[in-house]
Amino acid sequence: MLLGLMVALAACGGGDGGGGGGPVSPPSGISFTATGGATTNGLVLVQSINSTPNLLRLDFVAQGMTNLYGVAFDVLFPSEILNFTVATQGAFLGGTGTSLQFEQTAPGRLVVGMSRLGNAPGASGSGVVLSLEFASRGAAGSGTFRYERNSAFTPTGAPISGVTWGGGSVTVTP
């Protein structure tokens, strides 16, 4: 009987589940990790639930903002692994009385401006200001999203002080 038990244990790899094999590869796709940001007076990038394995959709979200009429910023991104595709308006600043402008002025540099139009009050609270979409170029790599020349302003055009701007890091695994 002891001999039968030893043969059974040897056949199943000693009872440790067998396994063996090499390292497990991470799943292919794009992953984004937000950095910075605040729960009040913040503007941050967060990965949208509408992202897919080859398309990264980032929502530019206002968090606890007061009297926000518009934003202007350059967002720098890793163009060696991502290709910018489109920007779309979010609901936070309203829909019909707003203007969204964007242009990729150089590889990895997107200039963005969005504001309400006319004699309208600033928005207060939290919500999606706009969304940015990026497609994978198919190459593995990682990089960061960061801001330059960024400002948030009130209906009078005055800058809003103390705004926290949150970027993030991205990894593409083909």
Q: Looking at residue 24, what is its pLDDT? A: 60
C-alpha torsion 38→79→51→69, nearest 10? 40
User: Residues of the chain whose pLDDT is less than 70?
Assistant: 1-27, 95
Q: Looking at residue 13, what is its pLDDT? A: 45
Q: Looking at residue 12, what is its pLDDT? A: 46
Question: Which of 102, 109, 126 lies closest to 43, judged by CA?
Answer: 126
**pTM for this predicted structure:** 0.83
Contact criterion met (CB below 8 Å) for 55 and 136: yes
Domains and CATH numbers, the chain: 36-156+164-173 (2.60.40.680)
Q: Looking at residue 75, what is its pLDDT? A: 98
Q: Looking at residue 58, what is its pLDDT? A: 98
